[in-house]
Structure 1
Amino acid sequence: MTRLDWLNRLSFEDAQAEFLRCCGSQRWAEAMARARPFQNQEALFAEASWLWSQTGPEDWREAMLHHPRIGDVSKLREKFKATGAWSEQEQRGMEGAGEDVIQALAEGNRAYEERFGFIFLVCATGKSAAEMLALLRERMNNAPDQELKVAADEQAKITRIRLEKLLASP
């Protein structure tokens, strides 16, 4: 049985829980669980993207609550048990970062949250700590509504990666 078959056969509640691991929006996860069965992975990815496009600021903010701060590697497994290993992989760019970059990210995260009211969300996969810091600094210039949309787009990228991981998991 493929992982897609497995996902299609889960109970509604179990499927919803798996989708919540990919994106913390309850409304999105429920809609994904209802949309099953998926004929193939492409159909799953297309539906995930379309359903995310139907969400709004409340859903985006809810999804952000399910992410650790960039650079908060020490708390990933403790606080985010369901997605901790995935988050740790996604933030691998923090490995080898200098203390100056780590401190600047911590300070930048605090300033970002004060300005926008939510955590700095970036699809960290493949990015170094310095790249994430540069993005954080650049995005501090965005208007709040614009930044919320940018963060929602980043969530969509993260969701896609996590759906791929879900389908690849043993």
Structure 2
Amino acid sequence: MTSTSTPGLARFNTSADSDALAALHEVCASSAWGSKLLAQRPYASAEELFRASDAAMAELTAEDLAEAMAGHPPIGRPKPGDPTSAREQSGMAGASEALKAEMLELNLAYQEKFGHVFLICATGRTGEQMRDAVRERIGHTPEEEREIVRAELGKINRIRLTRLVEEDRA
């Protein structure tokens, strides 16, 4: 992670509140998380932004987490036209039809038990690794799973924030 200001971080720090909040919403759908990060601008470094993100994630209520999870499509079914979810879930792109069908079944069972999509930081994971994770996690209590989801969201947010602050667009 970068420790100095980048053009992307400078742009984020100086953009209008509405633009910065929109960018944060693309990272995480929790309005509480986005508001906390917005209120702490400007950030001296990406690491400072990441620490603020982690702190805000730790403070989210169950309702805030539900709002954040609502912004994520099920594993194996990225949002059409959304390059972010397609890129993050690329490990499922080449999966066999049998694995895709099994993931759909597991996703539905997970969602029925917990009331929300199965959320995992899918970046760099194979379809089999994601299947194995949902198989394991479906046995958790709702309380255990909420904290795992919080940690997974934190990982996803860091990846997405890194892309936000490292982008060098005009």
Q: After alignment, is 116-125 or 6-15 more displaced?
A: 6-15
Among 148, 156, 160, the residue aligned to 2:158 = 160
Contact in 1 for aligned 2:88/2:123 (Cα 8 Å)? yes
Match for 1:92: what amino acid?
A: S
2 CA distance for matches of 1:76 and 1:48?
27
Is 1:130 the counterpart of 2:128 in the alignment?
yes
Contact in 1 for aligned 2:9/2:164 (Cα 8 Å)? no
Shift of 1:58: 0.9
The count of corresponding residues between Structure 1 and Structure 2 is 163
Among 53, 76, 81, the residue aligned to 2:80 = 76
Shift of 1:3: 0.8
Give the unaligned 5+ runs of structure 2: 1-5
Deviations 1:32-91 (A, max 9, x none): 111100011111111111111111211111000000110003x332xxxxxx21111111
Structure-2 residue corresponding to 1:60: 65
Flag the structure with more relative contact order, 1 or 2, with Cα contacts below 8 A and sequence separation at least 6: 2
Among 15, 33, 36, the residue aligned to 2:20 = 15
Match for 1:59: what amino acid?
A: D
Match for 1:53: what amino acid?
A: A
Match for 1:98: what amino acid?
A: S
Contact in 1 for aligned 2:12/2:20 (Cα 8 Å)? yes
Is 1:50 the counterpart of 2:55 in the alignment?
yes
Match for 1:14: what amino acid?
A: D
What is the percentage of aligned positions where both structures have the same residue?
A: 36
Contact in 2 for aligned 1:23/1:63 (Cα 8 Å)? yes
Shift of 1:12: 1.2
Contact in 1 for aligned 2:9/2:166 (Cα 8 Å)? no
Among 11, 27, 40, the residue aligned to 1:35 = 40
Structure-2 residue corresponding to 1:116: 114
1 CA distance for matches of 2:80 and 2:121?
16
Shift of 1:113: 0.4
2 CA distance for matches of 1:168 and 1:76?
25
Among 125, 142, 145, the residue aligned to 1:144 = 142
Structure 2 counterpart SS, 1:76? coil
Match for 1:141: what amino acid?
A: G
Contact in 2 for aligned 1:68/1:76 (Cα 8 Å)? no
- Scaled by the length of structure 2, the TM-score of the pair is 0.92
Deviations 1:9-29 (A, max 9, x none): 111111111111111100110
